[in-house]
Amino acid sequence: MTERSRPSLRRRLASKELLVAPGVFDGISARIADQLGFEALYMTGYGTVASHLGLPDAGIATFSDMVGRVAILAKAIRAPLIADGDTGYGGPLNVQYAVRGYEAAGAAAIQLEDQEFPKKCGHMLGRRVVSVEDMVDKIKVAVASRDSDEFLIIARTDARTTLGLDEALRRADAYAKAGADILFVESPESIEEMRTIGRRFDRPLVANMVEGGRTPIADRKTLEDIGYSIAIFPALGFLAAGDALRKVYGYLREHGSSVGVDATLYNFGEFGDLMGFGAVVKFDETYRR
């Protein structure tokens, strides 16, 4: 999928309608979500690190780890890919490489956060943030480093949990002035806090809907009325997949067979089509002697 043939995320965000983006974390989840017709997908850092490395999202994954996953996911889908870029993997120079790398890999947007390194999941306690000035420098570098303004910069602040909502709002203001296209105030703790965020800013806002996280899950209409432009659901897919795998693997471990397993399984042939085996068959028909 080329940048020209992929729908424009910037153009889509000009609409007042909420953009709902499921979290994807590997080629299977990305292909399924894309086939269902979502207008954008979100590469979750938590899920991608867990899937790719089997490790926690705690600053362990490197730029090389993550940009490689961006390329795999972006190539497999038609929808624009919003990709978690953590802290930019270091200082301003690292941010420049991250932005150029993610854009070249096919992402439509990179999310950068103001946590100290090593970062933590955005719904954990004890997150610490860098100075506003340091993050503003990163955003300015990010904006200057992209080849096209179709590649969007999302500025996330994690200040709410440790420093309070007022500080988080102050930071988001500064990040907007630095040139961020989209603002992401992480982990507000009530619908009223979310309303305060929505009233404060006149540019696209991200709502992070994490089942079991610190922010209440709101329905689509509520998020639109509050003023959010994008709702990401980063954990829904991997939590569902994890539960399904635990059930079927547990049954297999207990019974030594899948005979009698009480689970809904993807049709094997349809799964092959999803992963592109139809093209393999056509290739063989054309070129095999």
CA distance 133 to 110: 20
CB 184 within 8 A of CB 153: no
Beta pairing class for 152-157 and 81-84: unpaired
CA distances from 179 to 144, 173, 248, 256 (A): 9, 10, 48, 57
Q: 59 in a domain, yes or no? A: yes
Tell me the pLDDT of the chain averaged across its residues. 94
CB 171 within 8 A of CB 137: no
Mean pLDDT of 162-177: 97
pLDDT grade for 262, boundaries at 50, 70 and 90: very high
Q: 17 in a domain, yes or no? A: yes
Amino acid at the residue 276:
G
Q: How many domains does the chain have?
A: 1
The per-residue pLDDT for 6 is: 84
Nearest to 20 by CA among 216, 214, 233: 233
For residue 125, pLDDT beyond 70: no
Mean pLDDT of 142-158: 97
Q: 51 in a domain, yes or no? A: yes
Burial annotation 227-255 (CB, 10 A radius, 16+ → b, else e) = bbbbbbbbbbbbbebeeeeeeeeebeeee
For residue 158, pLDDT beyond 90: yes
Max Cα distance, the chain (Å): 70
Q: 287 in a domain, yes or no? A: no
Task: Name the least confident of 38-52, 188-202, 248-262, 271-285.
Answer: 271-285
pLDDT grade for 124, boundaries at 50, 70 and 90: low
For residue 142, pLDDT beyond 60: yes
For residue 4, pLDDT beyond 60: no
Q: 276 in a domain, yes or no? A: no
Sign of CA dihedral 208, 211, 215, 217: positive
- Cβ atoms within 10 Å, residue 225: 13
Mean pLDDT of 165-174: 98
Domain extent at residue 22 = 9-241
The per-residue pLDDT for 120 is: 67
The per-residue pLDDT for 169 is: 98
Mean pLDDT of 261-276: 94
Q: 268 in a domain, yes or no? A: no
* pLDDT more than 70, % of the chain: 96
CA atoms within 13 A on the CB side of 219: 2
CA distance 154 to 230: 11
CA distance 17 to 279: 36
Mean pLDDT of 37-48: 97
What CATH number did the domain enclosing 193 receive? 3.20.20.60
Q: At what angle do helices 132-145 and 92-105 cross, to 10 degrees?
A: 40
The per-residue pLDDT for 127 is: 79
Q: 254 in a domain, yes or no? A: no
Q: 104 in a domain, yes or no? A: yes
For residue 1, pLDDT beyond 80: no
What is the chain's length? Answer: 289
* pLDDT more than 90, % of the chain: 88
Mean pLDDT of 91-99: 97
pLDDT (tens digit, 9 = 90+) per residue, 208-256? 999 999 999 999 999 999 999 999 999 999 999 999 999 999 999 999 9
Residues whose CB falls within 8 Å of the CB of residue 56, separated by 6 or more in sequence, listed in order: 49, 50, 121
For residue 121, pLDDT beyond 70: no
